[in-house]
Copies of this chain bind each other. A is one copy, B any other.
Amino acid sequence: MELGIKIWLEKEGKNILGGGRYRLLKAIDEEGSLKKAAERLHYSYRYAWGNIRKMEEHLGKKLIISHKGGSGGGDSILTPEGRILLEKYEALRRDLYDYMKQAFERIFTDDRL
């Protein structure tokens, strides 16, 4: 038997950041471009942009800064708040997953199930 787990951040009942939006934020950080991040995740540019907008609205903070560019489609970088959110989510996830593994092994140690 294995343990499945899903975590997300929410604010006033509205989803802020879970698996999908985390991957989007991470890809923007790595690609330096919302357009390239969307392509990597097979999202439409509109969908990716809309998700960032919703996160920003619900949090009341800007998460990325975009510069309109020429043929390349412009650059996007995380704001300090965007970086804090990304890093804290990663730290929390790592921490919970490590603990969860231990707890699962401790509780489901016998083979009665």
Contacts and interface: CB of A to CB of B under 8 A. Distances in A.
A23 interface: no
Nearest to A90: B107
Interface residues of A, number: 32
B113 A88 contact: yes
Interface stretch (A33-41, A45-53, A95-103): A95-103
Contact of A2 (B9, B92, B104): B9
A59 B113 CA distance: 7
Contact of A92 (B59, B96, B103): B103
A103 B113 contact: no
Nearest to A8: B4
Interface string A27-66: 0000000000000000000000000000000010100000
5 contacts: A1-B9, A59-B113, A92-B107, A95-B103, A99-B99
